[in-house]
């Protein structure tokens, strides 16, 4: 496995000598701004609350699995916020396109990629809707928020010009991508806090 990874990395390096690990991408702090670190903190805070819910004996087993999955997804997205792995994915696609001589048709490939992602997203949404249909509304809201976050990250990786233009639009001085990302995290965090089991009347009396 290690040899295969090194071979793949060497192949990508030969295909595009841009000075990075993969094309122009190298692991590092992708967004060192205050807003970037605030987003990471919110991701981790939401992940922690979801972990607490996943370990609560007062939450049904199947629902605890949902909250654990959300915790893992949020933690990974928090790490990705700084590593910017979607840019690495874009670089891999660009290098392969040039190396296999289909760079001029990359927009068609990108369009196909987005269409596949859209179909998978709809399918996933339908499955989740069935799984969580009898769960509390807070849990349903959290799952919807997570799907929006994941969908946004994947579509952003496609790097279409009109997508880049959209996420660059500002609302009251805030970029659309920041509004969507923070809004999604806040949605999950609020749902998790609302779903947190309250002490019973007997426990409060003590």
85-99 helix and 2-15 helix, angle to the nearest 10 degrees: 70
What tokens does 152 get? 């946004």
If you average pLDDT over residues 4-29, what whole number do you get?
59
Q: How does residue 3 score in pLDDT terms, banded at 50, 70 and 90?
A: very low
Question: Of the spans 8-22, 126-140, 188-202, which averages the highest pLDDT?
Answer: 126-140
Q: Which one is predicted more confidently, 205 or 89?
A: 89
| Closest by CA position to 188, among listed 128, 129, 145 | 145
Percent of the chain with pLDDT over 70: 75
Cα gap 12→7, rounded to integer Å:
9
175 φψ region: left (φ > 0), alpha (ψ -120 to 50), beta (else): beta
Provide the pLDDT for residue 158: 58
Q: What pLDDT, on a 0 to 100 scale, did the predictor assign at position 122?
A: 81
Residue labelled with tokens 């947190």: 196
Give every CB contact of residue 152 below 8 A, 6+ residues apart in sequence. 177, 180, 181, 184
pLDDT number for residue 46: 95
170, containing H or E segment = strand 170-171
Please provide the average confidence, as pLDDT, over all residues in the chain.
77
- Give dist(CA 94, CA 18) in Å, integer: 12
Q: Residue 2: what pLDDT?
A: 44
Return the higher-pLDDT residue of 9 and 44: 44
pTM comes to 0.74
Q: What is the pLDDT of residues 150-174, one digit of tens each?
A: 777 766 755 555 565 666 666 556 6
């Amino acid at each position: 496995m290690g040899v295969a990874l090194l071979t793949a990395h060497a192949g990508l390096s030969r295909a595009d000598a841009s000075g990075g690990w993969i094309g122009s991408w190298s692991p590092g702090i992708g967004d060192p701004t205050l807003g970037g670190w605030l987003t990471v903190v919110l991701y981790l805070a939401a992940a922690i609350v979801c972990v607490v819910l996943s370990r609560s004996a007062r939450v049904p087993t199947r629902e605890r699995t949902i909250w654990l999955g959300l915790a893992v997804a949020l933690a990974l997205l928090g790490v990705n916020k700084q590593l910017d792995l979607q840019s690495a994915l874009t670089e891999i696609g660009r290098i392969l396109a040039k190396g296999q001589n289909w760079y001029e048709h990359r927009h068609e490939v990108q369009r196909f990629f987005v269409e596949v992602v859209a179909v998978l997203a709809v399918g996933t949404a339908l499955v989740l809707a069935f799984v969580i249909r009898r769960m509390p509304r807070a849990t349903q809201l959290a799952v919807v928020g997570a799907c929006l976050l994941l969908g946004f990250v994947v579509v952003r990786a496609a790097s279409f010009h009109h997508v880049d233009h959209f996420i660059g639009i500002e609302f009251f001085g805030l970029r659309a991508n920041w509004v969507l990302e923070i809004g999604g995290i806040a949605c999950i965090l609020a749902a998790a806090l609302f779903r947190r089991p309250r002490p019973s009347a007997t426990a409060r009396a003590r």
